[in-house]
Structures are given as structure tokens and as C-alpha cells.
Structure 1
Amino acid sequence: MNSTEHHPDDPNGAAAHLSHDGSTVPAPRLARSVLLATMAGYSLVTAVNILDAGSSPLENGIGFLALLVIFGLQLVHSRPQARQSSYGCRVTTLALQAACCFLPLALFHLAWGAMCGFLAGSVLLLLPARTAWPLYVAIGLSLYGYSAFVVDRSLFDSVYTLETTLVTGLVVFGLSTLTRLVARLHAQRSDLARLAVAEERLRFSRDLHDLLGYNLSAITLKTELVRRLVPDMPAPARAETDSILALSRQSLADVRKVATGYRDMSLREEVAATRSMLEAAGIEVVATVGTGPLPPQIDTVLATVLREGVTNALRHSHVHRCAIRCAEEGGVVTLSIDNDGVEPVGRNPFGAAGPVPRQAADEPGGTGLGNLTHRLGRLGGSLTTELGDDGWFRMTARAPLGARPDTFDLNRMENAQK
């Protein structure tokens, strides 16, 4: 995890965050402030040009009103969620901005040119690349044509107008995109921190349950055996033995309670966090969870399968698309994790070295798939992996809803000792 450095006078996170290589990454508030200051600077230059043009008070009022409208629309277009609006809404606001950009040219001529740069930047921000870049160039050429043929400026002035329009558009596009990326990075840092904490809690609960729980179970069993092997022990010794037995049983119950509380996870929360993480990495994600509330044991194991599967896929392959689906049918919950990131050399994208098998073995062993297979097996479930004919790698976990977890049984251990 990357460490962060917070300035004591900046409780809202406006200070820079320190990354693992020592470089600084601006927080969202700082990035938005830079973008806002840049757009305000361009608008102020245009306002000064309007006042310097010697127009009438009415014309100046129209110019300032159009300037405010453009500034407001640019704020809307530069926000991180702008691309999530419907296509029709984006086209409508772009058309309104275009009207406010081009119509005042008749009053203020090239003194208004910087606002067309805002329009060029908005086109790049809101439209698909195959449409945006031709329109971006067309806006610059339109200002060049207006300067050269309408107001009859020199070739040097016309080229300068073209260049300033395109550069202004790139500045708006670049700063808006940077602000969007910084906001996503900031949100992703929170997700990664939460996932790291959850992973550590899971590791701690597993060690607590498997190591300390086993030792306490053995102490309980040995104490029971002492009572049976020495039936005629003195009363004080029997009382002490009973005290030790009661204490070990209570300690074992407490350890299991604490371990269970630490390792409880939610599949739905894990799906949401995973989707956010993958989308921030530029991976196309389809995620559906078609089940009701799941038993805690199944919910935790499936959430762990999802985390391990996606982590290994990102670590060992080049994923561009990922599909996560969970459904319940016939009393069995099925979680499938598919991705298109199988490497050409045939490396298993979920962590196993060597050629990718058509059906991977479901044997426990190793720290990744084997551990997950073992945990699902204790619930009566299974874990399979396969490379489909379509080139997608599929990982499928199944767990029956009615199954009881195969927990540690003191009677079974006692019988084994006998």
C-alpha cells in the first residue's frame, strides 16, 4: 500500500498525497482548484477583451451573459461524471455552448476567440473519439476561416487564432481529464485501503482459528483424557482439572467467536469494490448478483473466491473485459468469474504455472486456488477453472445453501486419540 502524507492544516485532503516512489499526486480538491482557476483565467481575459472592444453597454451585457453561460456549461462538461450523462443530454448542452460561442463573434470578433477553445475542449470531453477529434479540428479551422475571410486578418493573425483555439481546447481537455483521473485515483486509494484491511483481518482470523483454535481444542481433549485416565485422583486435583477444562472450553469458544467476527465478508460489497477497482483500471466489467441474503459462511467464502480470483487475474494476465455473475438455482449458489486475459504463452491467468488446462484439478494445495477449493469443500461445494472455446478463462465456485460447514469436532478428535 502506498503511504499518504497529510498536511496538518489540510483536513479535507487538499494536500498532496505521497506515492510509493516519493512523487506527489494532487488530491481531488487541488486538481479541481487548478482547473477552475485556469478556466476563470481564460474567462477573465475574454472579459477584458470585451471591455476593450469599445462596444455599447447593451452589447457588453450580452457578452458577459454569454460568458457566464459558457463558464457554467464548461463546469458541467468538465466534472468527472460528465460522460455518464445520456448522449442526447451531452449533445444538447454542446449545441447550447456552440451557440453561445459562435454568435457573439458577430459583436466582438476575435476578442471572443478563447471561448471557442472551451467548446473544442468540451467536444473532446463528451463525444466519442472518432467524432470528437474531427469536430475539434473543424472548430479550429472555423476560427481560422472567420479570421482570414470575414474580418480579413493577416495570415499570421489567422494562424495565431487557429493555434490559440486548439491549444485552449487541449488545456481544458487535459486538465479536466486529469481532474477526473485524480478523483478516481483518490476513490481507488480508499477502496484499496479497505481491501487491505479486510485481507489482513481475514488472514488474522484464519491464523487465529487454525492455530490457536486447534491448540485450545487439543488442551481440552488432553484434559478430558487426564480425567478418564486418573479416575481416582484426589478431590482438589479433580477440581483443578475441571477448572482447566472449563477455562479451555470457554477460551476455545471465545477464539472461534472472535475469528468468525473478523472473517465475515459480504459478497455484494466485494462485488461493488471489485467493480470500482477494475473500472478505475480501464477494464470493462459486467457484474450481476441475483441472489438474496446468503448464510454468513457462504457469503464469506464466495467473497474470498472473488477477491482471490480477480487479484490473480490482474497479476498473471492482461485483462480487458471481466464478467462476474452470481446466481442461485436448485439450492446451489454459483459464482462465476470470467475474463479475456489469457496470455498467449498459455500461462494460467489465475496463478497456476504452465499450460492452461481444460479443467483444472480441484485438489487442495498451494496458497491460492487450493485453499479456496478446500474451504468450498468444507461447505460441500466445489471450485473449477477452464479455458473456454471463446478464449475466455472461467472460474466457477458452487456452494449448496443447505450444507452445514465442516467445523472442528472435539468428539471426532477424541475418538482419533483413542
Structure 2
Amino acid sequence: MSPHNGLRHSAAEAADGTEPADGETESGLPDAPAPRLARVILMAALLSFLLITMLNVLSEGLGTGMNLVALACLAAIFTLQLRHSRPKAHRAPWRWKAAALGVQALLTYLPLLVFQAEWGGMAGFFAGSLLLLLPPRLAWPLYAVVGLSMLLPPALEGRSVLDSVYLCQSTLLTGLIVFGLTRLADLVHVLHDTRGQLARMAVTKERLRFARDLHDLLGYSLSAITLKSELIHRLVPAHPQRALAEIRDVLAISRQSLADVRTVASGLRDMSLAEEITTAEGLLTAAEVDIRVTLRPGTMSQQVNTVLAAVLREAVTNLLRHSKADSCVIEAVQHEGRVRLLVENNGVDPDYRDPSAHSGSGLGNLATRMREISGELSTDRGPADTFRLVAEAPAFPERPWSGADTAVPTTRKPAA
């Protein structure tokens, strides 16, 4: 499978809901943790800190009643912390955040009077909540104040300075862990949402690419088939042999149209400007249009060659569909590293407007294609009933392209 097909295949899987292989994402990269797993890791860390604090309280032997009080306070802190760690909690109203932080502060500091330093681990939860809910300018100073406040309980109990420093350091570390794991869970959630959006964008982009290429390729072929069919209808009574020759041309164009559809589906859509000019000459001659060609395109990248060929196809298609031209000028010239394609014809009705709801967007598609190769497309009405289309681009654009970008000489084939 080519890289282009692989990209479209994976994007289509994301669109229709099918899952990629285990251990891979839609882009073929190793799978990221699921949002649910990230939340489970956060909850496991919170419960572990709560369990450590509960074990410290139980080791003091304060009795069943006090142990139940400690358990109730821990449950309340855990509930508050889950609310503070939920996505977008920092966007809650200030009144709610002030009330929630006030209750958590009471549940953090009041039990210190009873459980003393053994309750100090809960200050880390409070410090983490400050970082999660408040603006950074206010949150980080308060976070430091909470950490420094944990120097006091061991000192009031007559413990060593090392115990005070340990409790302060563990409080600050717990706050960072709570803050970091919460933000990590939020980031994983955003990552999964963004990955889904990118997959949908890839599918949309591929649909637009397919529609654009189908319009560019088939619009020309169908116009040619229509023109030649009308010519055959006129030739059959008086010139049956020439009509047979035209029928062979129609069959050839039909086969090429089928190949073009397959080309669009496969993503391999390289075209040749020289070949398109030769084809346009034969088609316009059959339509009794006097055509003059100047062809000196030099050497250009395959990307530019393909885009300019598509521009020429659309220009000839519009000429056949929307004008009554009897003369046309086509020039493809390279000068100072830039290739310029000019298509000019007469027979344009200045008041013409296509009323069809599906009249196409060929020129818009081509303008997009030209921008992709750092080029530009312009159209204007000339004097009388003339119409001019000019496409110009560097022969070797610096912008990378997904297709093969090898240099190709654009030598002209003899007209059929």
C-alpha cells in the first residue's frame, strides 16, 4: 500500500468508527493512554495518599471514635479533590471556588489540632487544589505558604527540625503530584479529542481532494465526448468514414476517462503539460477553433507539470462549455525559473452566467492547486469578447509535495 493510500485508509477508519490494530493509533503511531486510564491513575494516586494518612492516624491509637472522624474527614477531602481535579474546574465561578477551597482549608488545618503531624499529608491536597483552581500569580505563592505552614506541627510537638523539613517537603511534593497528574489527565483528554478532530479533518480533506480531482479530470473528458458526439451526429449522413474515426476518438477518450477515475482513487495523478497541449490542439481543431501554440516550458518538477496540465484542462473545458470561440492562444514559457501558462480565447458572452446549481468550482480548485506550488492564477476579460487565463509558478517550488517531485523534461509530442 502506498503512503497516500495508507493515510486515506486510516482516516476512513477513524470516520466510520473502526478501530486500528492494538497498540496503534489512526496515524499508525503507538497508542496514547486513554482518558479513562489517566483518570484512574489520578484516583489511584489520591487514594494512596489518603491510605497513608489513615495508616498514620491509626498508628496513634486514638480510639475508634477518632478514627471514624478521621475517616469521614478523609472521605470529604477525597470528594472535594475529585471535584477540583475534574476537567475545566478552574473555569468555575469564583464564589464556588472560594467556598470549596475554604472547606478544604478547614478539613486540612482543623484536624491538625487532634491528629497533629500525622495529618500533615492532607496539606499536599490543599496545595494542589490551589494550583488547580487559582490563577498562577496567586496560586504559587499560596502553594508555598501552605508548604511552609507544615514546618509548625512537628515543631509544636517537640520533634526535630528534620521532621519539620520532611513534612514541608512532602507537602510540596504531594501538591505537585496532584497538580501534575490532574493536568496530565486533562492533556490526555485533549489529545484524544484533537486526534479525533484531525482524523475527521483528514477525511474531509481527502473528500475535497477527490471531488477536486474528479472535476478537473472528468470535466475535460466529458466536454470532449459531448463535442465529438455532436460532431459525429452531423457527420454520419454525409461523411460516415470520418464519423467512424471520430467514434474511435470518443472510445479512446472514454477509456482515458475510466483510467482517470482510477487515477484519482489511487492518488497517483501525475499529468504532462506537453501531452495536454497536444490533446487540446486536437480537440479544439475538431471544434473548428483556430489554435496557436507556443511551447517552451523547459524543465520543471512533476508537481508543477501536473498542476499546470490540470489548469490547461480546466481552461479548455471552460472554453468549450462557456464560449463560442473560433480562435485560441496557448503559451507555456519558462523565464528565469518561473513557468507561465497563458490561455486566451474569444467568443465570450459578457453577460453569460451559468444558472446551474452544480456549475462546478474548477477555477477555485485550480487557484488552490496553484497556491500549493507557490504559484498564482489570474483571469480577466479582455477587449471585446476575449477571456484570458494566466497561471504562473516556480519551476521547482521549495514547498514539499506528497507526490513524486522529480524533474521532468516537457518535450512536446507531435500532434495527432
TM range (shorter): 0.5 to 0.7
State the Cα distance separating 1:58 from its structure 2 match: 2.4
Does 1:158 pair with 2:147? no
Report the residue type matching 1:190 in the other structure: G
Distance 1:178 1:371, change over 3 A: farther
Does 1:207 pair with 2:203? no
Q: How does 1:48-127 map to 2 (within 5 A)?
A: 48-127=55-134
- Cα contact 1:83–1:125 (8 A) shared by 2: yes
* Aligned partner of residue 87 in structure 2, secondary structure: coil
- Determine which of 366, 370, 377 is the counterpart of 2:371: 366
- Cα contact 1:17–1:26 (8 A) shared by 2: no
Q: How does 1:394-405 map to 2 (within 5 A)?
A: none
- Cα contact 1:16–1:26 (8 A) shared by 2: no
Name the CA distance, whole Å, in 1 between partners of 2:92 and 2:62.
38
User: Which is higher, the Rg of structure 1 or of structure 2?
Assistant: 2
- Cα contact 2:23–2:30 (8 A) shared by 1: no
Distance 1:371 1:71, change over 3 A: farther
Distance 1:224 1:163, change over 3 A: same
* Aligned partner of residue 54 in structure 1, secondary structure: coil
TM-score when scaled to structure 1?
Answer: 0.53
Distance 1:175 1:367, change over 3 A: same
Cα deviation 1:136-173 (Å, max 9, x = unaligned): 0100111112322x222210100011011001111111
Q: How does 1:186-205 map to 2 (within 5 A)?
A: 186-205=192-211
Does 1:31 pair with 2:65? no
Pick which of 20-29 and 110-119 moved more. Answer: 20-29
- Determine which of 150, 170, 189 is the counterpart of 1:143: 150
* Aligned partner of residue 204 in structure 2, secondary structure: helix
State the Cα distance separating 1:28 from its structure 2 match: 1.1
Distance 1:363 1:210, change over 3 A: closer
Does 1:174 pair with 2:172? no
Q: How does 1:6-21 map to 2 (within 5 A)?
A: none
Name the CA distance, whole Å, in 2 between partners of 1:364 and 1:186.
31
Distance 1:219 1:78, change over 3 A: same
Distance 1:80 1:94, change over 3 A: same
State the Cα distance separating 1:42 from its structure 2 match: 0.6
Q: How does 1:210-359 map to 2 (within 5 A)?
A: 210-232=216-238
- Determine which of 186, 189, 195 is the counterpart of 1:183: 189
Pick which of 28-37 and 129-138 moved more. Answer: 28-37
Distance 1:102 1:21, change over 3 A: farther
Name the CA distance, whole Å, in 1 between partners of 2:211 and 2:45.
51
TM-score when scaled to structure 2?
Answer: 0.53
Report the residue type matching 1:41 in the other structure: S
Structure 1 portions without partners, runs of 5+? 260-361, 375-418
Name the CA distance, whole Å, in 1 between partners of 2:104 and 2:378.
57
State the Cα distance separating 1:91 from its structure 2 match: 2.0
Instruction: Report the counterpart of residue 343 of structure 1 in structure 2.
Output: none
Distance 1:126 1:223, change over 3 A: same
State the Cα distance separating 1:186 from its structure 2 match: 0.8
Q: How does 1:371-382 map to 2 (within 5 A)?
A: none
State the Cα distance separating 1:87 from its structure 2 match: 2.5
Structure 2 portions without partners, runs of 5+? 1-6, 266-366, 380-416
Name the CA distance, whole Å, in 2 between partners of 1:165 and 1:79.
21
Report the residue type matching 1:198 in the other structure: T
